[in-house]
């Protein structure tokens, strides 16, 4: 039973990690129907910024809490700035182009950003400091769950709630929903679509940066290539949950995390990804637009 619990919690952590990246993915998708391949890169840049800022601050001799706060803020600001700029350069001109062209542009951006970090920084793995302080009272349970993992769980939940709130109850959220349903119609009723899309990218990138800080301190190392793999996994999770839906992204991520974790725990990690993908195919056969996705009949 303890083994089951451990695997369950392991899957929960992994799922929450995917969710932090998938949330931004699904928001961007929801609004412009674009598979934003560069989203993983934004996450990577967030992690790199946090590492750089944290190292500089450590050398200045600040305490852990202020380093954590300042590094996270820097990561969020820079990731948002990158998200905003990427949208302006690579996606905005393609708004009326065929959808696949925007996809290729996103792939090109992803290659550009990861190799830009490779050139400007390094190709080696860098060790990422553990920014989350160890909490004393969970020390006895540290073989099951650690403060770092708790931080990931809490942040994911909080981000999901905040995003749902923004989308459901604010004016901006209303504008986002309108834009996602029908961009032209939204424009007609006076929604500043360009601004809405920019804001969506900024929010999505900010969550990715938060993910970058937390995941990097959980894993303990980063390099320029982490974004691509994370992006693919988050994409799978977002689709599984029904792409475009915020709770769906979280649910899809958790299911993906659990599937992988239980496959490894009870079968073999050799076929971890195979199980995950077979599960995905099965769900999509029975629910072709994801678990919580609305069924739509739009062509490609």
Residues in 151-170 that interact with other proteins by CB under 8 A: none
Q: Contact 28/38 with Cβ under 8 angstroms?
A: no
CB of 165 to other proteins, least distance (A): 26
Q: Does 215 bind other proteins (CB under 8 A)?
A: yes
- Pull the structure tokens for residue 112: 């550009």
Beta carbon nearer to other proteins, 45 or 175: 45
Task: Tell me, rounded to whole angstroms, the distance of Cα 293 from its chain centroid.
Answer: 18
Backbone angles phi, psi at 276, to 5 degrees: -60, -45
**Could you say which of 81, 150, 166, 193 contacts other proteins (CB under 8 A)?**
81
Minimum CB distance to other proteins, residue 167 (Å): 20
Q: Which member of 120, 136, 137, 188 binds other proteins (CB under 8 A)?
A: 120
Contact by Cβ (8 Å): 94, 104: no
Query: CA-to-CA distance for 181 and 183, rounded, in angstroms?
Result: 7
How many positions of this chain bind other proteins (CB under 8 A)?
A: 104
Is residue 39 part of the contact set for other proteins (CB under 8 A)? no
Q: Which lies closer to other proteins via its Cβ, residue 172 or residue 289?
A: 289
221 binds other proteins (CB under 8 A): yes
Token representation of residue 99: 């959808």
Helix (H) or strand (E) holding 222: strand 221-222
Sequence-ordered strand ranges (E) for the chain: 126-127, 221-222
The one among 62, 70, 73, 107 contacting other proteins by CB under 8 A: 107
Residues forming a β-bridge with 126: 222
Stretch that binds other proteins, among 154-162, 171-179, 190-198, 220-228 (CB under 8 A): 220-228
Residue 81 is encoded by which pair of tokens? 């700035």
* Choices 47-55, 154-162, 167-175, 192-200; region in contact with other proteins by CB under 8 A: 47-55
Closest approach, Cβ 299 to other proteins, in A, equals 6
Residue 123: burial class (beta carbons within 10 Å; 0-12, 13-18, 19+): exposed
Closer residue to other proteins in complex, CB, 150/166: 150
């Amino acid at each position: 039973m303890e083994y089951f619990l451990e695997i369950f919690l392991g899957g929960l952590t992994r799922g929450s990690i995917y969710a932090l990246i998938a949330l931004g993915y699904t928001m961007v998708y929801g609004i412009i129907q674009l598979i934003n391949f560069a989203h993983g890169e934004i996450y990577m840049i967030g992690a790199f910024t946090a590492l750089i800022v944290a190292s500089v601050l450590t050398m200045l001799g600040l305490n852990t809490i202020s380093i954590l706060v300042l590094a996270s803020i820097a990561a969020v600001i820079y990731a948002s700035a990158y998200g905003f700029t990427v949208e302006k350069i690579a996606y905005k001109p393609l708004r009326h182009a065929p959808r696949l062209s925007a996809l290729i542009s996103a792939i090109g951006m992803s290659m550009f950003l990861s190799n830009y970090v490779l050139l400007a920084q390094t190709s080696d793995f860098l060790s990422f400091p553990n920014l989350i302080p160890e909490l004393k009272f969970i020390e006895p349970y540290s073989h099951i769950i650690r403060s770092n993992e708790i931080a990931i769980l809490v942040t994911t939940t909080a981000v999901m709630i905040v995003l749902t709130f923004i989308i459901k109850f604010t004016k901006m959220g209303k504008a986002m929903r309108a834009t996602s349903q029908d961009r032209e119609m939204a424009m007609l009723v006076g929604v500043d679509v360009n601004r809405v899309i920019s804001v969506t990218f900024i929010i999505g990138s900010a969550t990715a940066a938060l993910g970058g800080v937390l995941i990097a301190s959980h894993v303990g190392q980063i390099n320029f290539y982490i974004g691509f793999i994370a992006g693919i996994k988050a994409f799978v999770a977002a689709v599984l949950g029904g792409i475009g839906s915020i709770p769906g992204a979280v649910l899809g991520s958790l299911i993906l995390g659990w599937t992988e974790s239980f496959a490894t725990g009870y079968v073999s990690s050799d076929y971890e990804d195979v199980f995950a993908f077979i599960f995905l195919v099965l769900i999509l056969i029975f629910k072709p637009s994801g678990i919580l996705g609305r069924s739509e009949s739009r062509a490609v």
